[in-house]
Amino acid sequence: MNPGGSFGEKVVDSRPSVADNSTVPTKSESNATTKTKKSDVSFVGKRGIGSNNGVYQLLECSICTNFMYPPIHQCPNGHTLCSNCKNRVVNCCPTCRHDLGNIRCLALEKVAESLEFPCKYRNIGCPDISPYYNKLKHEQNCRFRPYNCPYAGSECSVTGDIPTLVAHLKDDHMVDMHDGCTFNHQYVKSNPHETENPTWMLTVFNCFGRKFCLHFEAFHLGMAPVYMVFLRFMGDVNEAKRFSYCLEAGTDGRKLIWQGIPRSIRDSRRKVRDSLDGLIIQRNLALYFSGGNRRKLRLRITGRIWKQE
């Protein structure tokens, strides 16, 4: 159960083509500057000449052991360190204790320019080889980099490929998995005036051989309490653009309809919510759609996903 929320979900349509499920509380890109292990790195000169671990050791900061990028600093005795560590050691070389001064190791920077590196995600499929100074930028945007867990109920640090995350959501977060490209849910909450961080991901379901996450959230937009429903695609941004979806809420001949493109889980749940990229319903209207005495939320949301031609 998610802290700060007590929504329930009632299935109102159990046709085989409908992804009916119970509301499950939801739960965020790995650090692109993470240190690369020596055994994971090979170097290629611009002329195709392989280099050995001695070059690796030259480019490794003696303090944090990460690769160094310009400006690369050195003490008068030739011990090198990265600019981040230089700012932390208060002008004292950690190797020989000599004053650092402000000496650039231009020779080492020039050596680095001649090297090309494979992506650190090559073991999971990335074929790219980048010049040394472009390596970080490439890895920060590499399409093979791991995805963050999309569960929004609490902060989850798990990362991995899509099959890994799907298994993680099912086994560790108890998220229901369903097949189908249409869905029909009724959100039920006995006290709809409670909006203190109730964040929910209803389900993960399989459609066109891909996985999608349907989110339902309640929060304040300015001073106005609102509900928001949106869809995220478990894959990259470019692939997400191949799909569209629509959401619908209403009763008694009155409807709110949203149509859009699912956002990739590369975008965090908070980023999607803050951009208001989904179906937004003010609380008073949601209670009107709920019928009855309007003291209890019974909000029905229907929707479908289709593939762009």
Are 277 and 269 in contact, with CB atoms under 8 Å apart? no
Check residue 149 and give its pLDDT: 92
Check residue 153 and give its pLDDT: 61
Distance, CA of 182 to CA of 263 (rounded, Å): 18
Check residue 196 and give its pLDDT: 55
The two tokens of residue 259 are: 């149509």
Would you call 187 helix, strand, or coil by DSSP? strand
Other beta carbons less than 10 A from residue 309's beta carbon: 4
* Residue pLDDT tens, the chain, 309 long: 343 344 554 443 433 344 443 333 333 333 333 344 444 445 444 433 344 456 767 888 888 988 888 899 999 998 999 989 988 888 889 889 989 888 999 998 888 888 888 888 988 889 998 888 888 889 888 989 999 999 876 678 899 999 999 999 999 988 888 899 999 888 877 777 665 555 566 688 899 999 999 998 888 888 888 899 999 999 999 999 999 999 999 887 889 999 999 999 999 888 999 999 999 999 889 888 887 676 778 888 999 999 987
Are 228 and 216 in contact, with CB atoms under 8 Å apart? yes
Token pair 């499950």 is at which residue? 24
Token pair 């963050």 is at which residue? 148
Please give the backbone phi and psi of residue 230, each rounded to the nearest 5 degrees, phi first: -155, 165
The two tokens of residue 294 are: 């309007």
Check residue 169 and give its pLDDT: 92
Instruction: Tell me which H or E stretch contains 138.
Output: helix 135-141
Distance, CA of 71 to CA of 81 (rounded, Å): 9
Check residue 175 and give its pLDDT: 87
Distance, CA of 101 to CA of 106 (rounded, Å): 15
Would you call 167 helix, strand, or coil by DSSP? helix
